[in-house]
Structures are given as C-alpha cells and as structure tokens.
C-alpha cells in the first residue's frame, strides 16, 4: 500500500428499533367515545355483554388487577370482577384512532410498520445526527408525548437493536412508559426471561421445554443447537436456538402485506339451528368479502371457527387453488366448512368466526390468472356482482341489497351479540 494512503472502514450502522404499543387500546377508545359512561368506569371490560355473553377483548388495568384478561369469557371476568362495567367494542372508532396514531408516527419517524391495530414498529436507524442532542431513550419519550398530544392515545415504547428485543422491551414499559435495551445488552436483558415470554413460544412448547428442565432463556442458552433439534425437530430446534439469543434480522417494512382479515360473533343466546347458523355465517362472510375487496386483496384460505356452548373451540380451514374475492366463492367455501364442523359435533354454538388468510393483492392475482385456468367456483360475473353490491352499499348503506337468506320477516330480527373484528 502506497505511503500516505488511508483506509476508511465503515462500521455497520447500529439499528434503532422501537415498538409503539397502545396501552389497553380498546379501553382507551371506549372511554374517549363515551366519556360520561365508560370514561367514568375505572373497572372497565370491553367485549361481550353485561349478561356475561361473549369474550373479553380488553380490560382496564384496574380490572386486570382482579385477574381479568383478554380472550377470557366475559362471564368468568365478571365473576372475578363483579363491579366491572361491560361495554361493546367500538369497532369504527378503533379503526379511526389506529389510523390517527399511525399518521402521527409517520410524521415522527422515517419508517413505520403497523404490526396490528394497536402496535407499530419504527425504524430510527441513521437518525442519530438528526436527533444528536437526544439519547435513544429521550427520542422515545418525545415520540410518546407527541402521540398523546396529537391523538389522546397513551402508548408505551420498547426499544433495541432488533425487532424482537423492542417487542419484549415494550412489555417492561407498560403502561405509559419507555424501556430501551442498550446495544450490547441484549443477552443480559433476555437471560432472566421465562421462555413463555418469547414470541412464538406457545403453551405446548413451554410444557415440552419444562420437561427438559428448561424454564428461562438462560437455562436454554446452555443447550447446544444439536440437542434442541433432536428434542424438538430440526426446524423448530434451530428456530429456538436463534430465539433465545435474540437473533432477528427482520426489517421494519412499511409495505408489508396484511396477513389476515377475520371477524367473530358471540351470540346473546346459544344457537343450535343449522339454518340460523348458516344465516349468521353469510352475514360474516359478506362483510369480510367487502373489507377484502376494499383493501384490494384476494384470499387463498378460508377458516371457520365454532365455540360450542361448553366453550370447546373448533375450526376448519380450506385453501383454494387460486385466490378468491367474491362473496359467492367465499360463502361457498365457508358453508362447506361449517357443515363439516356441525357434522362432527352437533351442539349449541355460542360463537361463530370466519377468517381470510393468505392474502395477495388483487392486481397480482389477476396477472397470474392470465396464464392459468379460471378459478373453480368463482367467475368474472361473481366478482363483478360483488363489486356492484359494494358500490350500492357505499351509496345507500349496508342493508341496501342483501342475500335472500339474510332477509327476515318484519319483527323477527334477533340481536346478534358481540362482535370482534381483526385485521
């Protein structure tokens, strides 16, 4: 190398990832929408009904102190916390406030990805010079206060050099706080955690790990990858080896595709009539079909879920050869799945749910279809009819045009119960 020549070594940029988690989001929205009702109830349960039907979508921190948790039957939640006030999920308002939070974050961070209706990843990598007078923690606190000022929604933020670390750190920040794991301190942060705290480590895997004497990340850290693969299979063992080390190369992607659209309904009274269950199924599927088309997607997989009167939960799914979007095709698949579930166990049902997954952009699906045979069960006419129905609903309301099986005789309408929609 000639004298006087200098070599500049560029160190890899240290990632600065935040997870913004809205604190008890559904509770906050319910209180903002009804300040004189839900807003005055410290013990608040969102989801289900005061009669005990349905399941808990969210609960105030005061109610959680009594053991109330999301996805718990509302009847059980009321036994744990009998003085709680129960309100329905304010679906429209939830979406509106979620969009407001995301909009605020997009003005505060260069890269924003919605992980769910109440969680958002931010990538602040490379902003050190822009925010040179702030530490990473100070930046997180500033974002928290600005979101609260703009949207009235309280959030907690977890931060680190990887998405999985930011996700775990957020649980230490709640409620209304900030927890940053410094670069180089990831393993010290992970070691004392229970394995059940790691994303993706479910109850069945926890049980198998405990049988091996493994309860914490630090205990699993001492096991060689080869043994993890022998115990849990090659893929899962390799995945667990990386997970306990916090290895996560996933990026914050603002264009990540939506993964699923689903809706479920808990009835005020158990339903044992096949025709009535079919009617409720059509209601759910036509609503989801409209949402699917509005978002510009088609779905590959349809799932139907039943929760029986004794809280036994069952579900069936079917993946079609090509993505579908029409009401006719979605209903056809969903009805078959419901029939299979009912044939297996014909007992009164308290909840019915439908999910659409394997979503692909409609434009992409149309391009692929140019080289393939038409989708069995879904014609161009089916898609056109569904879009016309969507257009009429936007102009004249959702009840402007309905499938014949949804039309009831005057005075025979029954209440449908609580409903939860996920995106």
The residues carrying an active-site annotation are 119
* Residue whose token pair is 């606190």: 141
Would residue 319 be called left, alpha or beta, if left means φ above 0 and alpha means ψ between -120 and 50 degrees?
A: beta
Q: At what angle do helices 225-232 and 203-211 cross, to 10 degrees?
A: 120
Could you check whether the bond before residue 175 is cis, i.e. omega within 30 degrees of 0? yes
**CA distances to 49, 65, 262, 308, 392 from 355, in Å:** 23, 32, 4, 18, 24
Query: How many Cα atoms within 13 Å fall on the side-chain side of residue 58?
Result: 20
Phi first, then psi: give them for residue 356, nearest 5 degrees: -120, 120
Q: At what angle do helices 274-294 and 380-396 cross, to 10 degrees?
A: 90
């Amino acid at each position: 190398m000639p004298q006087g020549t200098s070599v500049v070594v560029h160190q890899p940029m240290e990632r600065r990832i935040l997870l913004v988690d809205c604190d008890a989001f559904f509770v906050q929205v319910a209180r903002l929408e009804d300040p004189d009702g839900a807003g005055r109830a410290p013990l608040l349960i969102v989801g289900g009904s005061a009669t005990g039907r349905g399941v808990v979508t969210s609960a105030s921190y005061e109610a959680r102190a009594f053991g109330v948790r999301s996805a718990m039957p509302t009847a059980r939640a009321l036994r744990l916390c009998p003085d709680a006030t129960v309100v329905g999920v304010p679906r429209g308002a939830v979406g509106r406030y979620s969009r407001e939070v995301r909009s605020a974050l997009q003005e505060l961070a260069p890269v924003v990805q919605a992980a769910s209706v109440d969680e958002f990843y931010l990538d602040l990598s490379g902003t050190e010079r822009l925010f040179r007078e702030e530490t990473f923690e100070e930046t997180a606190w500033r974002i928290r206060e600005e979101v609260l000022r703009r949207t009235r929604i309280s959030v907690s933020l977890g931060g680190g050099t990887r998405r999985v670390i930011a996700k775990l750190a957020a649980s230490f920040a709640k409620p209304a706080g900030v927890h940053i794991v410094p670069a180089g301190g990831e393993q010290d942060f992970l070691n004392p955690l229970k394995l059940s705290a790691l994303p993706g480590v479910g109850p069945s895997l926890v049980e198998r790990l405990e049988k091996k004497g493994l309860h914490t990340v630090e205990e699993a850290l001492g096991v060689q990858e080869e043994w993890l693969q022998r115990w849990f299979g090659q893929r899962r063992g390799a995945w667990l080896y990386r997970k306990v080390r916090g290895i996560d190369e996933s990026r914050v992607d603002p264009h990540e595709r939506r993964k699923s659209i689903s809706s479920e309904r808990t009835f005020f009274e158990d339903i044992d009539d096949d025709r009535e269950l079919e009617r409720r199924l059509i209601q759910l599927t036509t609503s989801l079909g409209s949402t699917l088309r509005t978002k510009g997607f088609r779905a590959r997989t349809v799932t139907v879920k039943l929760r029986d009167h004794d809280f036994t939960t069952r579900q069936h799914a079917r993946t079609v050869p090509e993505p579908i979007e029409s009401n006719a095709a979605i209903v056809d698949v969903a009805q078959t799945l419901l029939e299979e579930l009912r044939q297996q166990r014909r007992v009164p049902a308290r909840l019915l749910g439908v999910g659409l997954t394997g979503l692909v952009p409609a434009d992409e699906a149309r391009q692929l279809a140019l080289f393939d045979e038409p989708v069995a069960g879904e014609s161009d006419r089916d898609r056109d009819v569904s879009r016309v129905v969507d257009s009429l609903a936007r102009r004249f309301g959702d009840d402007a045009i309905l499938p014949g099986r949804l039309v009831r005789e005057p005075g025979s309408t029954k209440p449908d119960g609580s409903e939860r929609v996920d995106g």
